[in-house]
């Protein structure tokens, strides 16, 4: 892309971000001319540049906005809400254009004729006279604001009209600024030129005031000229001062910051990380040699390296105010949308965070904020009724603590009803009633982070669709952070995010399995446990061929890292101890069995070759302090591999003794002989209807192509053993002769491939509460239940999978199935 266009894009998008803020602020203080001017200038600059670059549509739009703004600025119009809305809409449209330009390098087909018309119409309205900032009310000439950026000619002292803004002004001024003498008297010293004249050329304040007065009374001359005319100053002095003032201004703008390519920073960061590692090894070597000079030098190097690292890290840090600046606009839009009054308070905007992390928390924070306004803050009427002020407050606070970055979003709204969250979670089948009762208040509240849970009574276009908080949590966890929620009824809710300061290095636990060293990110770590072999035998058991570990009252799937990665057995110093590392991911816990635990280290994550991606168990590699290489385990992938914690049905079986009812959601099906059957809905991926022809024979069985995968097809009848052999003989014939449709359930599986279960009839989905499961009626059935006053067989889904697996291994081993049933 053209350098010029690129610069234009970067600059404009930064300016637009500021615009959002300015507009929202402006609504609060509609008479703030400085804000209006700043907004005007931004739009003006964009307009000027895009005209130059030939983006005609964008130019037309900004032109319309600019004209309206200039009238607002001159006090000819009041900033109505309608005005603000249209202008904000214009900002969004401009942003849309810029995005389009960024991706396609032209403006695209966006049509803003209507918006332009609206902006023009607004512009034609007359001021109601309500504004006071223009007390003289003099007939102001039509604004010339729409002229291109004021040329160099108008850009000398003379151009500095009395009413010119105090600071932040670019060198080019707009000539249409009407004089506003009242303020000026207090501001002479603050004025750039006036002040400079007084300070540097010993012009008296009175002279300046007199000159200003003359200007007001219609003297067409410019301030400097008048003063020269009054004999207070020479033309030479005026010119000098003007040059100086301009130079200072330019310096300030230029020297404060430079733009640096993020990639360059990234590279620097990598190199510094390497340097740190090299230094570590050099330190080691220097110590061994015992050479005095060398040691001194290495220590010097040590210090410089540490400083360098700190500083390079710092270059990536950005103040969180970059994010905060975007929030007022969101608060404004959302609260207006749903008719609530909300005030945003931010604190700690100068708290710094790694650039990429800042980017990563943007969406989650926005979402939390929306939630707070939508669900947290009550409507003004409701608030009044309970004695709260009409206006709700959302406080966003950022701070550093304990080596992490913290961000809190707190509202003074209605709070969250933990009981309701719990019930909702049970209703949605996300947690069982029995389990939910065991949870503490805080844990119940945090169920809100489960996928598919939304407590909003109604779905608004802001939130309440049941996606949201889980996405927040996932996104935060992805960057190694944590999300927590606290709430007090009718007092408010606080969401706390804890984020590591930087992603460049992460603390990790290194473990040994076989002969390899692996790193586990500390953020995923829950606990390390060393078990005596005897104790282990009691606490580790097998459910459906999956090892589980009883850990503080919950059942956690257990993975042996060595087995999982097919590693050779390495030297195991203490063979009778079993080392477990309990890790957490996406709300699940799993226990990893490792040979030994090594240490914790700060590691630098390096990407792994994409050729290793298909293994999908590593998040990267890291060079350890001793120069060894460790693979970083992808805990989320391992957790998925380990499968789910026991299913509801398993819990149901476990709770036989208790009297508590378990809620189940079942998919009801008609069996081959008209009997009723059900399976837990959580196992259902999709309900589908296929052509019989889609069922293809393969190696004595049937398969189906489904979404790019070849999935085995199993008939429901096959699950019911006594009919099995009979069915077998008919199968071939039926498969070829029958035409029409097959009803099928795509059954999902954590450990195996999904399976397509061919059924006779799908009856529907029911939610039931049951106390216990009656003994199974036959093999392939886990037990019987009464559903809608009919006896219903609960299908043994795990048998389905284990049978398929057995068959895959060549043996229709019934024994395996029975063992699973007999458990």
Provide the binding-site residues for other proteins, judged by CB under 8 A: 273-274, 277-278, 514-516, 564-567, 606-612, 614-615, 617-618, 621, 623, 627-631, 641, 751-752, 805
Instruction: Output 3 or 609, the one with its CB closest to other proteins.
Output: 609
Contact 199, 137 (CB under 8 A): no
CA distance 408 to 483: 10
Instruction: Output 117 or 615, the one with its CB closest to other proteins.
Output: 615
Q: Least separation, in Å, of the C-beta of 578 and other proteins?
A: 20
Q: Name the residue among 815, 781, 774 with its Cα closest to residue 800.
A: 781
Provide the H-helix boundaries in 439-597. Answer: 441-445, 469-478, 533-539, 561-564
Provide the H-helix boundaries in 105-169. Answer: 113-124
Structure tokens at 382: 């409701």
* φ and ψ at residue 503, rounded to 5 degrees: -95, -10
Instruction: Output 614 or 729, the one with its CB closest to other proteins.
Output: 614
Strand partners, 664: 768
Q: Least separation, in Å, of the C-beta of 596 and other proteins?
A: 17
Instruction: Output 209 or 275, the one with its CB closest to other proteins.
Output: 275
State the number of CA atoms in the 13 A half-sphere of 6 facing the CB.
5
Q: Tell how strand 525-532 and strand 577-585 pair up.
A: antiparallel
Q: Least separation, in Å, of the C-beta of 561 and other proteins?
A: 9
Structure tokens at 254: 């230029």
- Residue keyed to tokens 């001159």: 74
Q: Tell how strand 790-795 and strand 676-680 pair up.
A: parallel
Q: Least separation, in Å, of the C-beta of 474 and other proteins?
A: 24
Q: Least separation, in Å, of the C-beta of 560 and other proteins?
A: 11
Instruction: Output 277 or 681, the one with its CB closest to other proteins.
Output: 277
Q: Least separation, in Å, of the C-beta of 611 and other proteins?
A: 6
Q: How remote is the C-alpha of 805 from its chain's centroid?
A: 40
Q: Least separation, in Å, of the C-beta of 64 and other proteins?
A: 49
Q: Least separation, in Å, of the C-beta of 266 and other proteins?
A: 14
Structure tokens at 817: 């199935």
Instruction: Output 273 or 435, the one with its CB closest to other proteins.
Output: 273
CA dihedral 184, 187, 193, 195 (to 10 degrees): 140
Instruction: Output 230 or 567, the one with its CB closest to other proteins.
Output: 567
Instruction: Output 405 or 518, the one with its CB closest to other proteins.
Output: 518
Taking each helix axis from N to C end, the angle separating 192-201 and 205-216, rounded to the nearest 10 degrees, works out to: 150
Instruction: Output 525 or 617, the one with its CB closest to other proteins.
Output: 617
3-state secondary structure 654-688: HCCCCCCCEEEEEEEEECCCCCEEEEEHHHEEEEE
- What is the sign of the dihedral through the CA atoms of 418, 423, 426 and 432? positive
Contact 207, 200 (CB under 8 A): no
Instruction: Output 229 or 627, the one with its CB closest to other proteins.
Output: 627
Q: Least separation, in Å, of the C-beta of 634 and other proteins?
A: 12
DSSP letter string, 617-668: -EEEEEE-TTS-EEEEE-HHHHHHHH-PSPPHHHHHHHTTSS---EEEEEEE
Q: Least separation, in Å, of the C-beta of 510 and other proteins?
A: 13
Q: Least separation, in Å, of the C-beta of 612 and other proteins?
A: 6
Q: Least separation, in Å, of the C-beta of 755 and other proteins?
A: 13
CA distance 198 to 188: 9
Instruction: Output 550 or 641, the one with its CB closest to other proteins.
Output: 641
Strand partners, 731: none
- Residue keyed to tokens 């009242």: 182
Q: Least separation, in Å, of the C-beta of 519 and other proteins?
A: 12
CA distance 640 to 230: 84
Instruction: Output 8 or 618, the one with its CB closest to other proteins.
Output: 618
Counting runs of H as helices and runs of E as strands, what totals does the chain give? Answer: 28, 29
CA distance 777 to 216: 100
Instruction: Output 278 or 819, the one with its CB closest to other proteins.
Output: 278
Strand partners, 678: 668, 794
Q: Name the residue among 459, 352, 452, 477 with its Cα closest to residue 404.
A: 352
């Amino acid at each position: 892309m053209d350098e010029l266009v690129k610069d234009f894009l970067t600059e404009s998008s930064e300016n637009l971000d500021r615009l959002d803020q300015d507009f929202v602020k402006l609504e609060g203080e509609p008479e703030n001319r400085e804000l209006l001017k700043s907004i005007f200038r931004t739009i003006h600059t964009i307009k000027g540049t895009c005209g130059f670059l030939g983006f005609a549509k964008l130019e037309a739009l900004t032109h319309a906005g600019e004209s309206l703004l200039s009238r607002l600025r001159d006090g000819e119009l009041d900033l109505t809400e309608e005005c603000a809305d249209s202008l904000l809409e214009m900002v969004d449209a401009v942003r849309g254009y810029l995005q389009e330009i960024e991706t396609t390098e032209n403006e695209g087909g966006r049509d803003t004729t209507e918006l332009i018309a609206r902006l023009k119409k607004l512009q034609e309205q007359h001021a109601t006279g309500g504004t006071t900032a223009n007390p003289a009310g003099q007939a102001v000439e039509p604004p010339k604001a729409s002229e291109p950026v004021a040329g160099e000619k108008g850009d000398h002292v003379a151009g500095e009209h009395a009413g010119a803004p105090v600071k932040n002004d670019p060198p080019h001024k707009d000539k249409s600024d009407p004089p506003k003498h009242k303020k000026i008297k207090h501001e002479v010293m603050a004025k750039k030129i006036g002040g400079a004249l007084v300070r540097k050329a010993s012009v008296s304040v009175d002279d300046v005031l007199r000159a200003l007065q003359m200007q007001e009374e219609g003297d067409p001359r410019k301030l400097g000229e008048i003063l020269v005319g009054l004999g207070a100053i020479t033309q030479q002095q005026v010119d000098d001062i003007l040059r100086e003032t301009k130079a200072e201004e330019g310096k300030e703008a230029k020297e404060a910051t430079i733009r640096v390519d993020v990639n360059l920073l990234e590279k620097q960061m990598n190199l510094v990380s390497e340097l740190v590692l090299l230094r570590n090894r050099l330190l080691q070597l220097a110590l061994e040699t015992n050479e005095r000079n060398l040691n001194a030098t290495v220590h010097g190097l040590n210090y410089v390296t540490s400083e360098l690292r700190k500083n390079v890290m710092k270059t990536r840090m950005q103040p969180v105010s970059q994010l905060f600046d975007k929030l007022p606009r969101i608060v404004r839009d959302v609260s207006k949308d749903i008719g609530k009054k909300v005030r945003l308070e931010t604190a700690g905007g100068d708290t710094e965070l790694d650039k990429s992390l800042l980017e990563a928390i943007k969406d989650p924070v926005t979402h939390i904020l929306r939630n707070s306004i939508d669900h947290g803050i009550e409507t003004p009427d409701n608030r009044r009724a309970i004695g709260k002020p009409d206006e709700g407050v959302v406080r966003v606070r950022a701070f550093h603590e304990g080596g992490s970055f913290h961000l809190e979003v707190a509202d003074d709204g209605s709070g969250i009803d933990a009981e309701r969250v719990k019930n909702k979670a049970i209703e949605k089948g996300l947690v069982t009633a029995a389990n939910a009762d065991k949870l503490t208040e805080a844990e119940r509240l945090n169920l809100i982070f489960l996928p598919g849970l939304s407590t909003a009574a109604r779905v608004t276009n802001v939130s309440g669709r049941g996606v949201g908080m889980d996405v927040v949590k996932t996104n935060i966890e992805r960057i190694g952070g944590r999300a927590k929620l606290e709430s007090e009824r009718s007092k408010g809710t606080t969401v706390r995010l804890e984020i590591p300061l930087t992603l460049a290095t992460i603390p990790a636990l290194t473990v040994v399995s076989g002969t390899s060293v692996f790193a586990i990110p500390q953020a995923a770590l829950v606990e390390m446990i060393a078990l005596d072999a005897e104790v282990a035998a009691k606490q580790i058991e097998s459910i459906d061929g999956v090892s589980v570990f009883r850990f503080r009252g919950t059942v956690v799937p257990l993975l042996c890292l060595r087995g999982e990665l097919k590693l050779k057995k390495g030297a195991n110093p203490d063979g009778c101890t079993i080392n477990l590392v309990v890790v957490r991911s996406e709300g699940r816990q799993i226990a990893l069995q490792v040979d030994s635990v090594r240490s914790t280290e700060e590691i630098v994550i390096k990407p792994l070759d994409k050729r290793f991606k298909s293994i999908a168990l590593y998040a990267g590699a890291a060079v350890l302090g001793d120069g060894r290489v460790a693979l970083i385990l992808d805990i989320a992938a391992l957790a998925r591999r380990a499968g789910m914690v026991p299913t509801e049905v398993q819990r149901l079986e476990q709770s036989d003794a208790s009297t508590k009812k378990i809620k189940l959601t079942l998919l009801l099906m008609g069996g081959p002989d008209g009997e009723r059957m059900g399976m837990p809905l959580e196992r259902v991926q999709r309900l589908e209807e296929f052509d019989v022809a889609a069922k293809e024979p393969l190696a004595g069985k049937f398969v189906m192509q489904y979404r790019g995968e070849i999935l085995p097809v199993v008939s429901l009848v096959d699950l019911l053993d006594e009919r099995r052999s009979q069915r077998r003989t008919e199968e071939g014939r039926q498969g070829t002769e029958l035409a029409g449709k097959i009803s099928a359930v795509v059954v999902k599986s954590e450990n195996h491939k999904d399976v397509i279960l061919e059924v006779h009839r799908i009856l529907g989905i029911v939610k039931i509460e049951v106390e216990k499961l009656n003994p199974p009626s036959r093999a392939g059935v886990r037990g019987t239940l009464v559903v809608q006053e009919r006896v219903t067989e609960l299908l043994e889904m795990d048998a389905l999978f284990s049978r398929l697996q057995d068959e895959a291994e060549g043996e229709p081993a019934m024994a395996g199935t029975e063992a699973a049933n007999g458990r």
